[in-house]
Amino acid sequence: MKLEFEKITTHERLPISILSLYLLAFPADERRPCRSLFQLIDGAEKGFDFRIIRWNGELAGFMTTWNGDGFLYVEHFATLEHLRGSGIGGRALDRLRIETGLPLLLEVELPESGELACRRIEFYRRHGLVPHPSYRYMQPAYASGLSPLPMMLMTSCGDVDLDVARDFLYSRVYGVSEHPSAGCTCEI
């Protein structure tokens, strides 16, 4: 069994099944509008990658990542529904960490959000990520009309400075100048 990543560098090469997965796997407040995603795939931001996950040559899922200062931020990650629970997602996450050699950073819904959030957190724990529940974090809104969300940061090692990571996320990933809980989601 073989797992491979395929980087997509133009949105015109994005398979419709992967775009559908992106739209279905994440609520509107937890994903970018398609136009914004397409701009990133087409190279609007250095350091952003859209990786398709292939399992034995077949589409299996995707990951979007950003190169931070000494870490890799996993923004979105999903496998096709019929492949969930097969181990492909875990293998992809482990391979990403090995290939990049960087600590991973990601946002997850708070455990009190429900059973699905708890299952996601446990999945990431099994693959070496540590939750930081005492670090208050608010995910900025992806676009006007969408809401900021309280989230929890997880890292694959203790070497990621969470304040530096938050500042990177706000300025580079979300394009905001202030902490959303401070009431400002001003676009830079």
In this structure, how many other beta carbons lie within 10 angstroms of the beta carbon of residue 170? Answer: 20
- 67 strand-pairing partners: 72
* φ/ψ of residue 92, rounded to 5: -65, -45
Is pLDDT above 90 for 183?
A: no
User: What is the token pair recorded at 38?
Assistant: 């397409």
Q: What is the pLDDT of residue 49?
A: 98
What mean pLDDT value characterizes the chain?
91
In this structure, how many other beta carbons lie within 10 angstroms of the beta carbon of residue 136? Answer: 12
Helices within 101-143 (DSSP H only): 115-126
When pLDDT is averaged across residues 18-43 and rounded to a whole number, the result is: 96
Is 107 strand, coil or helix? strand
Extents of the domains making up the chain = 3-182
- 131 strand-pairing partners: 154
Which positions ≥6 away from 35 have C-beta within 8 Å? Answer: none
Higher-pLDDT residue of 163 and 157 is 163
Instruction: Compute the chain's Rg from CA coordinates.
Output: 16
User: How far apart (Å, rounded) are the C-alpha atoms in residues 180 and 173?
Assistant: 14
User: What is the token pair recorded at 157?
Assistant: 């090692």
pLDDT tens digits, one per residue of 99-132:
999 999 999 999 999 999 999 999 999 999 999 9
- CATH for the stretch 3-182: 3.40.630.30
